[in-house]
Amino acid sequence: MFFHFKIIIRNLQRGGIYSYINVGGLAIGMAAAILIVSWIYHEWSYDRFHAKEKQLYVVYNRTVFDGKIQCFDWTPMVMGPTLKTDYPEISGVTRMSIDALLFANNDIGFKIKTGYADPDFLKMFDFPLLQGNIETALDEPYSVILTEKAAIRLFGDKDPMGETLRFDNQYAMMVTGVMKDLPGNTQFDFEVLIPFVFLKVQNWYTENWGSNNVNTYVELHPNARLDLINESIRTITQSHAGYPELPEVFLYPYAKRHLYSKFENGIPAGGLIETLRLFAVIAGLILLIACINFTNLSTARSGKRAKEVGVRKVLGGKRLSLIGLFLGESMIVSAIACYAALFLAVIALPVFEMLIGQQLALNFASVWFWLALFGFILFTGLLAGSYPAFYLSSFLPIKVLKGVFRKKQALVSPRKVLVVVQFTVASALIVSTLVIHRQIKYAQNRESGYNKDQLIYVSLEGDIEKNYELIKYNLLRHEK
């Protein structure tokens, strides 16, 4: 085995520039595939890290609007407590509303994404507290949980536990917990958590069943049947509000919401998963082009290997051992290319992240990462090396030694088919990229129907809403 390995390495060294082209072509294709697959995995992994993933659901509404059945995940504030009280199959409920709110420490203020949540939030979802108690951190209305990032922004290196913040320039809030920063693969996006009961204390809470303004999440008991629960809660809004035209209610798996958020006529009909499938096909096509390039280069240089094949067969070499030799060579090229591809992927990762607007990570510490990489090398080596291995091992010794091993060119040959496939796929990808780029540019630059110059947006914070007419009057006085 080691002898064969030495021969394979020596053949690669003798290949000179062709070996570099083979390795370089495979490496570029594999690097592109690795980046795309890492993004696909990142999107697929959204909120699958929660221990209770299979028990977590989002409350959805289903209603008829403009003649079509529409689904949306905004619910009344009173929905959550009612579900937890009236349905024993539901073991936990939390509501969530996120906004950008003003927090200040001393006289330094920051606009921070803030979520209002119930105490069950910390027990249902795996967002660990580095400091504080998950049982009590969201109990008191004037308490607040900070993520690591928010704690550093507001307190620097100082321990924030027990410290007081000003919220909305009016309310003193005590820090009762510090949460680990949220991972990139979660649907939640906040840096600060405030107890939902705070809204009730400030009279911002409404028990109107027709007002849909928060998201509601529930945790079912492990043995609960989703179909039975959905049937029992279907008319909960209608029965409490007394209006039969209000939406019907159903539970939808939380982990599916990211990829399967599209509904048609009230039925799940895909979503981001369709984009992921498309990009998986694109990654496969890019890898296929790289493998075809490897195959064509290998068979194009068959004359250089013909005499080697002839001599080996004359000396008793079997075709099976020759196939193993050429496949082994392909595997080694694939392994070298793969590690070169990892190097290229790491270099290109910041640019790729900028392009997609997300942070990705190649987890080199994971055993699964290296197992997947090994499978990737094995698959690529077999895909790229199978045809050259069977083609080169098929030469007849007597014809090779006479120098007439080449077959007459057929009208259609495997190499011609591979070349046509390679150029067809490459052309299709290039044309598709140009068309999509032009469509995006058109969407960005088309007329919006109004003049965007000198338009500003000011959120209604503090006393702005109370003094709206006065502010409007003073602004209009200075319009010229």
Distance CA 115, CA 215 (A): 11
Report residue 7's pLDDT band, with 50, 70 and 90 as the boundaries: low
pLDDT at 338 (0 to 100):
86
pLDDT at 57 (0 to 100):
96
Report residue 1's pLDDT band, with 50, 70 and 90 as the boundaries: very low
pTM: 0.80
Phi then psi for residue 382, to 5 deg, are -65, -45
Reported as a single tens digit per residue, the pLDDT across 324-359 is: 777 777 778 788 888 888 899 999 999 888 888 888
Mean pLDDT of 119-136: 93
Mean pLDDT of 141-159: 91
Asked if pLDDT for residue 97 goes beyond 70, the answer is yes
Reported as a single tens digit per residue, the pLDDT across 352-405 is: 888 888 888 777 777 878 888 888 788 877 776 676 666 666 655 655 555 555
First CA to last CA across the chain, in angstroms? Answer: 86
The percentage of the chain sitting over the pLDDT mark of 70, rounded to a whole number, equals 82
More confident residue, 299 or 405: 299
Mean pLDDT of 216-239: 92
Mean pLDDT, the chain, as a whole number? 82
Residue 288: both structure tokens together: 């296929």
pLDDT at 462 (0 to 100):
63
Contacts of 91 (CB under 8 A, 6+ apart): 55, 219, 220, 221
Contacts of 354 (CB under 8 A, 6+ apart): none
pLDDT at 480 (0 to 100):
55
287 near 374, Cβ under 8 Å? no
Report residue 50's pLDDT band, with 50, 70 and 90 as the boundaries: very high
Asked if pLDDT for residue 321 goes beyond 90, the answer is no
Integer-rounded Cα Rg, in Å, for the chain is 31
pLDDT at 257 (0 to 100):
92
Distance CA 284, CA 288 (A): 6
More confident residue, 225 or 469: 225
pLDDT at 394 (0 to 100):
64
Distance CA 333, CA 292 (A): 14
* DSSP letter assigned to residue 327: H
pLDDT at 2 (0 to 100):
45
User: In 3-state terms, what secondary structure has residue 403?
Assistant: coil
Residue 420: both structure tokens together: 């046509």
Asked if pLDDT for residue 423 goes beyond 90, the answer is no
* DSSP letter assigned to residue 214: B
Distance CA 284, CA 272 (A): 19
Report residue 204's pLDDT band, with 50, 70 and 90 as the boundaries: confident
Asked if pLDDT for residue 86 goes beyond 50, the answer is yes
One-letter identity of residue 320? L
pLDDT at 295 (0 to 100):
75
Mean pLDDT of 69-90: 91
Chain centroid offset of residue 206 CA: 35
pLDDT at 409 (0 to 100):
53
Report residue 456's pLDDT band, with 50, 70 and 90 as the boundaries: confident
Q: Which has the minimum average pLDDT: 100-114, 127-141, 190-204?
A: 100-114
Mean pLDDT of 9-28: 74
Pairing of strands 56-65, 267-268: unpaired
Q: Which has the minimum average pLDDT: 121-125, 225-229, 408-412?
A: 408-412
Asked if pLDDT for residue 129 goes beyond 90, the answer is yes
Distance CA 105, CA 345 (A): 42
Mean pLDDT of 39-56: 92
Phi then psi for residue 142, to 5 deg, are -100, 40
More confident residue, 145 or 299: 145
Reported as a single tens digit per residue, the pLDDT across 238-287 is: 888 877 778 899 999 999 999 998 888 888 888 899 989 989 988 888 88
pLDDT at 387 (0 to 100):
66
Asked if pLDDT for residue 174 goes beyond 80, the answer is yes
pLDDT at 302 (0 to 100):
55
